[in-house]
């Protein structure tokens, strides 16, 4: 239950950060996909099922807010979340470099699926923006590295704060 709440909080926070970034940088392409980073986090924390559920929720929410065909982004992100969950159970992805590679792979896969499904449904002509996909993968790697480092540091932060407070309290009475 605790993991589910963490995943939901991560996806909601990702949409908040994505909205703030879109507002700060104005109209035009945004070179990071923060909800996809949250999907990879969910896949690392919850395995295949967590990745699929977070990917479906994040993709459908992005489709609903962005227009277009509802479900294309949801399918792309849920497949990326599923494969990230499979990779997290098969390989050791506890360090920063494997996590960054997982985020980059999920970004490339999600974008390729999105472009392919959009082409299949006839909503866009066949243009494969390799440069934009590479830039978004690099941006997602940076955002993912920061997010994963923060998520790793938070559980021990409260205990470290309590120990420092206790030490200062004892030092005051000496």
CATH fold of 2-172 reads Arp2/3 complex 21 kDa subunit ARPC3 (1.10.1760)
pLDDT for 1 equals: 61
What pLDDT was estimated at residue 169? Answer: 81
Helix orientation angle between 96-121 and 72-90, rounded to the nearest 10 degrees: 150
Q: Where are the beta strands (DSSP E) in 17-172?
A: none
Q: 3-state class of 120 per DSSP?
A: helix
pTM for the full predicted model = 0.86
Q: With beta carbons less than 8 A apart as the criterion, state whether 102 and 84 touch.
A: yes
Distance, in Å, from the CA atom of 93 to the CA atom of 18, rounded to the nearest integer, reads: 25
SS3 for 150?
helix
Tell me 157's DSSP state: H
| Tens-digit pLDDT string for the chain (174 aa) | 667 888 888 889 999 999 888 888 877 777 899 999 999 999 998 999 999 999 999 999 999 988 778 889 999 999 999 999 999 999 989 899 999 999 999 999 999 999 999 889 888 777 788 999 999 999 999 999 999 998 888 878 778 888 888 888 887 766
Q: What is the pLDDT of residue 135?
A: 94
Q: What is the pLDDT of residue 151?
A: 84
Please give the torsion angle defined by the CA atoms of residues 100, 60, 22 and 16, in that order, rounded to the nearest 10 degrees. Answer: -80
């Amino acid at each position: 239950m605790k993991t589910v709440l963490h995943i939901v909080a991560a996806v909601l926070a990702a949409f908040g950060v994505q909205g703030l970034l879109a507002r700060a940088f104005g109209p035009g392409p945004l070179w990071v996909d923060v909800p996809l980073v949250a999907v990879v986090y969910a896949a690392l924390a919850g395995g295949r099922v967590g990745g699929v559920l977070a990917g479906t929720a994040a993709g459908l929410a992005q489709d609903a807010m962005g227009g277009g065909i509802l479900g294309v982004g949801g399918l792309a992100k849920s497949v990326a979340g599923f494969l990230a969950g499979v990779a997290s159970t098969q390989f050791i992805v506890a360090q920063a470099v494997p996590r960054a590679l997982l985020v980059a792979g999920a970004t490339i896969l999600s974008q390729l699926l999105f472009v392919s499904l959009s082409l299949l449904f006839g909503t866009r002509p066949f243009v494969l923006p390799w440069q934009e996909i590479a830039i978004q993968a690099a941006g997602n790697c940076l955002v993912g590295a920061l997010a994963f480092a923060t998520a790793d540091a938070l559980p021990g932060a409260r205990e470290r704060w309590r120990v420092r407070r206790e030490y200062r309290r004892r030092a005051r009475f000496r």
